Amino acid sequence: MVDVSQHELVPEHTVLEEEALEDVLEEYNIDRTDLPKIKRNDPALPDEAEIGDVIKIVRDSRTTDQSIVYRLVVE
C-alpha cells in the first residue's frame, strides 16, 4: 500500500500546538470553528491528528516562498 502522506506532491501537514494555535486565532481574530475543515480520514493527515486538532499545512508557492494554511480536523 502506498503512503500518500509521504508523496512529494503532498504538502507538509503538522498538528499545531495549543500555544501556537492561540497566537494564530488571535492574529486573525477568529475562533477555532471558523477555520476551514479537513476530514479525519484524509490520507495526508499525520497519524497523531485527532478530531478537534488544528493542522498547519505548508505549501510551496510561486509568489511567495511558502504558503501556510490551517485546517480544523473534523469527523
Specify the CATH number for the domain of residue 66: 3.90.940.20
Residue 21's contacts (CB-CB under 8 Å, 6 or more residues apart) are: 32, 54
Q: What is the pLDDT of residue 23?
A: 94
pLDDT digits (tens, 9 = 90+) for 30-61: 999 999 999 999 988 988 999 999 999 999 98
Asked if pLDDT for residue 4 goes beyond 80, the answer is: no
**What are the φ/ψ torsions at residue 14 (nearest 5 degrees)?**
-135, 150
Asked if pLDDT for residue 1 goes beyond 70, the answer is: no
Q: How many domains does the chain have?
A: 1
Domain of 57 in residue numbering reads as: 4-74
Give the chain's mean pLDDT: 90
Strand partners, 67: 59
Asked if pLDDT for residue 20 goes beyond 90, the answer is: yes
